[in-house]
Amino acid sequence: MANRDKFYNDNRRSKKQSSRAGQFRIIGGQWKGRKLKFFEVEGLRPSLDRVRETLFNWLQGEIHGARCLDLFAGSGALGLEALSRGAGHVDFVELNKKAARQLETNLGLLDADNDQVFHQDANQFLETQHQPYGIIFLDPPFHKDIAQGIVSKLVQTNMVQGDTLIYLEIEQNLEVEIPENWELIKDKKAGQLQYRLYRVKISG
């Protein structure tokens, strides 16, 4: 089992930048305009600026103080944007070791202190963690047949509560069976992807 506190608890965020680094920028909030590097690995693609801008316009009344999960963090673009805009806490889950270390570096550069990075498989995280979240970002690698399994497993956890918001970003034309109590409240397409925002309704 991966040590989930490996990066967070020792508080020794590396300042080294990878020679294979791409770059993205935070588009709103306290760190607006900050440019950050990310480690380029297969399947890692920060959400497009226009997609993030639309998403956080959708979330503008919900993000402040929210406890968030960035389940396939990669560059951390979604979770970092959430922190910049006032999220109370963000947990980042990233399996790739180099990408996770770069994310730790970026959090250190921003002097963020309301975050935790888990160098861990997303499925393993869902099996071992039990805390609820107000907002969950699901942006799995494309063309890996991951989305359906993650959605199915997520609904079996305690992470999803009544009124939890779930953001799902997947490739165009991919069909994912969504639980009946996930109410689709926003839906949009951009290029080769589709992105949606759901609100979980717990029947009483």
Contact at 8 Å (CB) between 130 and 91? no
pLDDT at position 6 is 34
Residue 189 lies in a domain: yes
* DSSP 8-state class, residue 158: S
Residue 24 lies in a domain: no
* DSSP 8-state class, residue 47: P
Residue 3 lies in a domain: no
Q: Residue 91's beta-bridge partner residues?
A: 69, 116
pLDDT at position 158 is 93
Q: pLDDT tens digit string along 94-145? A: 999 999 999 999 999 999 999 999 999 999 999 999 999 999 999 998 888 8
Residue 53 lies in a domain: yes
Q: pLDDT tens digit string along 166-187? A: 999 999 989 999 999 999 999 9
Residue 119 lies in a domain: yes
Residue 170 lies in a domain: yes
Q: How many CA atoms, within 13 angstroms, populate the side-chain half-sphere of residue 22?
A: 16
Q: pLDDT tens digit string along 48-97? A: 789 999 999 999 999 999 999 999 999 999 999 999 999 999 999 999 99
pTM of the model: 0.86
Specify the number of domains making up the chain.
1
Range of the domain at 168: 43-200
Residue 11 lies in a domain: no
pLDDT at position 85 is 97
pLDDT at position 203 is 65
Task: Give the pLDDT band (50/70/90) at residue 9.
Answer: very low
Six-digit token string for 18: 């990878």
CATH number at 175 reads: 3.40.50.150
pLDDT at position 41 is 62
Using DSSP, state whether 199 is helix, strand or coil.
Answer: strand
Residue 175 lies in a domain: yes
